[in-house]
Amino acid sequence: MFSDKDISHFTSLETPFYYYDLVLLQKTLSNCADAAKLYNFHVHYAMKANFNQKVLQHIKATGFGADCVSGGEVSKAIEIGFDKSQVVFAGVGKSDKEINNALDHDIFCFNVESIQELEVINELAAAKGKTARVAIRINPNVDAHTHHNITTGLDENKFGINSWDLPLCADTLRKCASLEFIGIHFHIGSQITNLDVYKNLCVRVNEFAEWFEERGFAVKVLNVGGGLGIDYHNPDQQIPDFTSYFKIFNDFLNVRPNQEVHFELGRALVGQSSSLISKVLYVKNGKKKNFIILDAGMTELMRPALYQAYHQIENISKAKLSSAVKYDVVGPICESTDCFGKEVELPETLRGDLIALRSTGAYGEVMASHYNLRENIQSVYSGE
C-alpha cells in the first residue's frame, strides 16, 4: 500500500525504479531473528535473492550470516562486513579461482555438491597448507511442490550429492586430509508455501544425519537451506510466518546436544520490501486484447519471463474503484515473453499512469540485464 505522499514523490522521479521500504525490511528481519532465537537456530541470508548494498547492510546489522553461491558473493559478503565465521559457500560449479578465494577468506564452510568437488577443495586447501571445513549437500529427493523451474531437491536435479553416492562420499572424506567434515546441507527449492514439505525434509535430514553418525562422522551442523515462500497475491500482508516455519523444524528434527541448525533464507526476508515502479508508455486497445505497455520490462524484472512468476500489478495513479478494464501488461523488450500479466483487471489506464509491480524484493533487481542495451535503473529508499 502506498500513501498519497509516496505516490506524489514517485511522480517526480524518473521511471522505472526499484522502490525499497527499509522499515518493512527491518521489521521482517527482526521478526525472523526473534523467531529463530526461540530455538537457537542460525540464519544465513541467501545473498543471491538481493545483493543491494543497503539491503545487505540491514541484514548484516541484524546479525545474520551470508549464504553465497559464487566467488563474487563471497567477496561481497566479506566486503560488507559479514563475519567470515558466518559465511558459507554453495553451488554445483565452484571454479578453482572461487574456491581459492573462499579459502583465502577462511570462510566457515563449503557446502559441497559432488565427490569430485571434495577432491578439488582438498587439493587446493592442501596447496595453501589449510584445512577446509565442508558440509555435504545431499539431494534428499523431496518434492518441494513448487514451480518445476525452482525445484532443486529431486533426483533429476543437478544439485547436491545423491544418496547412492554417499558411501563413496564417506570414503573420500576419510581420504582427504585437508578437509574437515562439519555437517550436512539441503536446499530443496524456492517459493515453498506448503509447510508439510518441510516435515518431509526433516524426516530425511534425520536419516542422513544418523547415517553419517553411524559411520563415525560427527555431524555438528544440520543446514536445512531456505525456500520459504511469500504471498505474492497479498503483498500488503507482508511478513511471512517465521514462527510456524521454525516450529516445524523444532518439532520434527532430531537435534542432538551440541548440534547447530542452520537456515538459508532469501526470498522470505526481502521479497515483500520492494516494488518496481513503472510508467505507462502506451495503451493499445485492440479487438481481442487491450495492452498496457510499460517503460519497465523483463530486463528490469525477469521472473515472469523466466518462470511465469506472478507479481500483483496495481495502477497507483487511479482509485481502485473506478470501472475495471482487462489488460495484458507488457514491457518494451522485443520478446513475446516480456509480459507481466495477462487479462489483468485494472482501472481504465492512461499514458503516464504509474504502475506498481509488487513483491519484487527477491530475484528482482539482481536479475536485471542489459539486453537491448537497456540502462541500469535507480533504486529509491524510504525509511533510511
Residues annotated in the binding site for pyridoxal 5'-phosphate, as ranges?
A: 227, 264-267, 363
Residues 298, 342: Cα–Cα separation, whole Å: 15
Point out the annotated binding site for substrate.
Answer: 267, 303, 307, 335, 363
Q: Which of 5, 86, 10 is nearest to 45 (CA)?
A: 86
Q: Where are the beta strands (DSSP E) in the chain?
A: 17-21, 42-46, 65-68, 87-89, 109-112, 132-139, 161-162, 179-185, 221-223, 260-265, 274-285, 290-294, 313-315, 324-330, 339-347, 354-357, 378-382
Determine which residue in the list 16, 140, 183, 227 makes contact with ligand PLP, applying CB under 6 A: 227
Which letter, b or e, does each residue of 306-321 get, where b requires 16 or more Cβ atoms within 10 Å of its Cβ? Answer: eeebebbbbbbbbeee
Q: Does 67 bind ligand PLP (CB under 6 A)?
A: yes
Any contact of residue 266 with ligand PLP (CB under 6 A)? yes
Of 60 and 279, the one with the shorter C-beta distance to ligand PLP is 60
Rounded alpha-carbon distances, angstroms, from residue 235 to 226, 232, 317: 20, 6, 18
Active-site option among 68, 202, 334, 339 = 334
Q: Applying CB under 6 A, does 90 fall inside the site for ligand PLP? A: yes
Contact call for residue 49 and ligand PLP (CB under 6 A): yes
- Among 133, 262, 267, 279, the residue binding ligand PLP under the rule CB under 6 A is 267
Q: Return binding residues.
A: 227, 264-267, 303, 307, 335, 363
Task: Choose, by CB under 6 A, the member of 18, 48, 261, 278 that binds ligand PLP.
Answer: 48
If one asks whether residue 179 binds ligand PLP (CB under 6 A), the answer comes out as no
- Window 95-134: contact mask with ligand PLP (x via CB under 6 A): ----------------------------------------
The reply on whether position 25 binds ligand PLP by CB under 6 A is no
Q: Which residues contact 27 (CB under 8 A, 6 or more apart)?
A: 239
Catalytic residues: 334
Q: Which residues bind ligand PLP (CB under 6 A)?
A: 46, 48-49, 67, 69, 90, 187, 190, 225-228, 264-268, 362
